[in-house]
Structure formats: structure tokens, C-alpha cells
């Protein structure tokens, strides 16, 4: 849709794009870099330039898990991470376990019942009653309570193991008496020497990852009941790009909803945008203003795939400030917008205007880390991105 769009200035924000395909069960990545997420916009520029038992969370009851017997868990307290997380803003805690697994616990906005001081402690070994464990995992507690934090909506647990494992594995929740574990429905990505597992969890005690049978995986999935909440992406942000003397200011207001209750899946919604541009040249002035309203918006969210190559120069507004922090999910889709506006050229006391009216569709990309969302629109002439957040909302 953006046939003539000015590139971002050298001082602007730069991101990279993600393209994935899956063939024969093996995931191939053409390119992956920093957090990205896409949506369309910059329409005036065109005219001027030519997510073991039930895994359901109810919105009406906060949930807390208190271990019955701590001796079941062998902990490495020296490597524990102690971090505060705001209920309103959300956040994440990331660490590397003694076994070199990367664990990230993410809390979307509104998922915590209250502001919490969290302690995430790696396990040095799995409970004795747990068989075929491939990642010992972590214990998540609210500091000083001996219990997991209270949740209103699910949190997201990600475990990345530094080796390729069979796909018949799952995140598991250890039973507090050490007698074994319960299987938690998980997404699994195996690629290039790593295995990444991601699960939506409703409460906290100790979690790890284990090899399980397909029958156990199917049983855990079937035990899930219907959710009574939606996952919602909100983006309300403004970006600027420049090409020579021409400056563009683009504002986006977007809402996309997934009614399935799983943070992964299909999001649909609506968006509006406003784009203004201005340039002084030759004693005259060129300006334009356009407003756009979406007629179609769809994003399909799945697990994030870690980069196959080193990241480029760090962006000052990266959403992943810790080396062990990676996006939980990424998505792609498209947005179609109808645009109207006006472009004006003024010089020597005279001015002339031309109307803007078009309908355009562009692909969009989204990356989610903890509560944060980044959307990216990349055109042949430039890149613009917008930041937002993801939250659980009752129906």
C-alpha cells in the first residue's frame, strides 16, 4: 500500500523484520532481529509523495498456589531473582538456571491481582517422583508468603533448553508432595540447537519441563475448559520519520481482541490513524493531513522464534533489556484502511490543494514480551513502529 514512503532518519528508531515458514516440521527463518510488530499507516505520505488439569482462569476469582511441602523442591537460592512487578503495568522475570536453561515468567497487564515482590528460584533437581525431566525449572513465589502470586488472568512461562529435543515434551507443574507432575498444554519449537516451550499458567508453585506421551498431551489439552475472558492488544502511539526536509508524524490508535482465552491465536479488531506531513522548500510550503479508518484487521499470534544470527545494533527503545529476555510471542497479519485527507502546496501568497482518498492493505507484524507489544510497518521507503500492551479483560 505504501508506494511512496519516506525512510526513517538515522536518528529514528530502527527495527528488523521477521519472516518464518514451516516445512516438514522444521522451522526455517529467513531473518529475525529485534522486537517487531507490524501495522499499517503513513497514508498521507503516499498522497504527498505521488498467550495437568484445567488451565482456565476466571476473572471473578484471583488464584494463589501455596506449596504444601517445600522439601520436595531442591533450590539454588544463590541464583534466585528478586524483582517487583506492577499489577497495572505488568512485567517479566528472566533468569538462567544451573543447567543453562533460560526461563522467563511474563505477566501481561492486569494478570497480577496486586503489586508483587516476586522471587524466582531455579531448581537444582526435579522432585524424586518426577520422571523424564528435561529442564528442572523454577519455583515462583511472592516474597515472604511461601505462596505463588495471586493471578486474575494467566501469566506466561517460557523455558528454552540449549539442545534439540523430541516434540513430545511439555511444561509440567510439580506436585507439592513430590509425587510427580501435571502436564500443562504447551507450544514447542525445536530449531537450531534449542527447544523452546511456552505455556499459559493459572497459578504458581514449581514448574519444569519433561518428556511426556502424546496421550498425556492430548489429555491435558482436553481438560481445559472454556475461558471467560479475552486477550486484548492496545496500541496508542505516535512515530515520526523524515526524508530530507519532509517530516511525517503518524499516530495510531488500535485495538485487537482474541476471544479464545488463549494468548496465542487470532486477533481481530479496528484501528484509526492520523498522518501529517510538512516541508518548507523554495520559499513555499508543502503540507498534508489524512485520517484513516480500518475496514479489516487480523493478527495471528504464535510462539516467538529466537534469532538464528546475532542481533544488530541495539535499539535504545528495545523491549528486552535483559540478555535472557526474549519475546514470548510473535504474530503477523494485515490491516486494510480507508483514507481521506488533503494535501496543500503554498508559495508566494498562493496555494493549491488536492484531495486524498484511497483504500490500502499492508502486512503487519507483532512481537510480545511480558505486557509489552511492538508493531512494525516496513515499506520500501522506510520503517515505522508503534508500542502498546496486551491485557486480559473479562467478557
Q: What is the mean pLDDT of residues 385-391?
A: 92
Q: Where are the domains of the chain?
A: 19-51+228-394, 70-222
H-state helical runs in the chain: 43-48, 214-222
**pLDDT score at 189:** 87
Task: Answer yes or no: is pLDDT of 26 > 80.
Answer: no
Task: Answer yes or no: is pLDDT of 5 > 90.
Answer: no
pTM check: above 0.75: no
Task: Answer yes or no: is pLDDT of 1 > 80.
Answer: no
Q: What is the CATH number of domain 70-222?
A: 2.60.220
Q: What is the mean pLDDT of residues 66-81?
A: 73
- Span of 45-59, 237-251, 282-296 with lowest mean pLDDT: 45-59
Of 327, 27, 366, 320, which is closest to residue 156 (Cα–Cα)? Answer: 327
**pLDDT score at 379:** 59
Task: Answer yes or no: is pLDDT of 38 > 50.
Answer: no
- Backbone conformation region of residue 339, classed left if phi is above 0, alpha if psi is from -120 to 50, else beta: beta
Of 192, 225, 393, which is closest to residue 309 (Cα–Cα)? Answer: 192
Task: Answer yes or no: is pLDDT of 261 > 60.
Answer: yes
Q: What is the mean pLDDT of residues 147-174?
A: 92
Could you report the per-residue pLDDT of 229-242, keeping only the tens digit for each?
899 999 999 988 88
pLDDT band at 19 (very low <50, low <70, confident <90, very high): very low
Q: Could you tell me what percentage of the chain is helix, strand and coil, using 3-state DSSP and rounding each to the nearest 5?
A: 5, 55, 40
Share of the chain above pLDDT 70, in %: 75
pLDDT band at 382 (very low <50, low <70, confident <90, very high): low
Could you report the per-residue pLDDT of 284-342, keeping only the tens digit for each?
899 999 999 999 999 999 887 654 433 333 343 444 433 345 677 889 999 999 999 99
pLDDT band at 243 (very low <50, low <70, confident <90, very high): confident
Q: What is the Cα–Cα distance from 286 to 356, expressed in whole angstroms?
A: 14
**pLDDT score at 381:** 57
Q: What is the Cα–Cα distance from 195 to 167, expressed in whole angstroms?
A: 9
Q: What is the mean pLDDT of residues 105-134?
A: 92
Q: What is the Cα–Cα distance from 6 to 3, expressed in whole angstroms?
A: 10
Q: What is the Cα–Cα distance from 355 to 47, expressed in whole angstroms?
A: 9
Average pLDDT of the chain, as a whole number: 77
58 against 229, higher pLDDT: 229
Task: Answer yes or no: is pLDDT of 109 > 80.
Answer: yes
Amino acid at each position: 500500500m505504501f508506494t511512496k514512503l519516506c525512510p526513517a532518519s538515522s536518528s529514528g528508531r530502527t527495527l528488523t523484520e521477521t519472516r518464518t515458514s514451516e516445512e516438514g516440521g522444521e522451522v526455517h527463518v529467513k531473518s529475525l532481529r529485534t522486537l517487531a510488530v507490524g501495522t499499517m499507516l503513513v497514508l498521507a505520505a503516499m498522497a504527498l509523495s505521488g498467550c495437568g488439569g484445567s488451565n482456565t482462569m476466571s476473572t471473578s476469582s484471583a488464584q494463589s498456589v501455596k506449596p504444601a511441602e517445600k522439601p520436595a523442591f531442591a533450590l539454588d537460592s544463590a541464583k534466585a531473582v528478586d524483582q517487583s512487578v506492577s499489577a497495572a503495568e505488568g512485567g517479566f522475570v528472566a533468569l538462567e538456571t544451573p543447567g543453562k536453561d533460560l526461563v522467563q515468567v511474563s505477566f501481561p497487564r492486569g494478570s497480577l491481582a496486586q503489586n508483587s515482590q516476586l522471587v524466582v528460584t531455579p531448581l537444582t533437581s526435579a522432585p524424586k517422583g518426577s520422571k523424564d525431566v528435561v529442564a528442572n525449572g523454577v519455583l515462583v513465589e511472592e516474597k515472604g508468603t511461601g505462596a505463588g502470586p495471586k493471578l486474575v488472568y494467566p501469566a506466561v512461562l517460557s523455558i528454552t533448553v540449549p539442545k534439540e529435543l523430541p516434540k513430545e515434551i511439555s511444561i509440567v507443574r510439580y506436585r507439592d508432595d513430590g509425587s510427580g507432575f501435571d502436564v500443562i498444554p504447551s507450544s514447542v519449537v525445536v530449531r537450531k540447537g534449542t527447544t523452546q516451550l511456552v505455556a499459559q499458567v493459572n497459578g504458581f508453585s514449581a514448574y519444569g519441563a519433561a518428556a511426556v506421551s502424546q496421550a498425556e498431551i492430548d489429555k491435558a489439552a482436553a481438560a481445559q475448559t472454556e475461558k471467560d475472558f479475552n486477550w486484548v492488544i492496545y496500541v496508542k502511539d505516535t512515530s515520526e520519520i523524515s526524508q530530507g526536509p519532509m517530516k511525517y508524524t503518524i499516530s495510531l490508535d488500535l485495538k485487537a481482541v482474541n476471544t479464545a482465552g488463549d494468548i496465542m491465536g487470532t486477533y481481530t479488531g479496528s484501528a484509526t490513524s492520523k498522518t501529517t506531513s510538512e516541508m518548507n522548500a523554495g520559499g513555499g510550503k508543502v503540507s498534508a493531513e489524512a485520517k484513516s479508518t480500518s475496514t479489516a484487521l487480523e493478527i495471528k499470534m504464535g510462539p516467538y522464534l529466537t534469532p538464528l544470527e546475532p542481533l544488530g545494533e541495539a535499539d535504545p527503545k528495545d523491549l528486552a533489556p535483559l540478555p535472557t529476555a526474549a519475546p514470548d510471542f510473535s504474530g503477523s497479519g494485515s490491516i486494510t484502511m480507508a483514507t481521506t485527507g488533503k494535501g496543500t502546496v503554498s508559495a508566494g501568497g498562493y496555494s493549491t490543494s488536492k484531495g486524498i482518498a484511497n483504500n490500502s492493505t499492508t502486512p503487519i507484524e507483532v512481537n510480545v514480551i511480558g505486557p509489552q507489544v511492538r508493531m512494525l510497518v516496513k515499506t520500501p521507503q522506510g520503517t515505522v513502529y508503534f508500542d502498546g500492551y496486551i491485557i486480559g479483560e473479562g467478557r
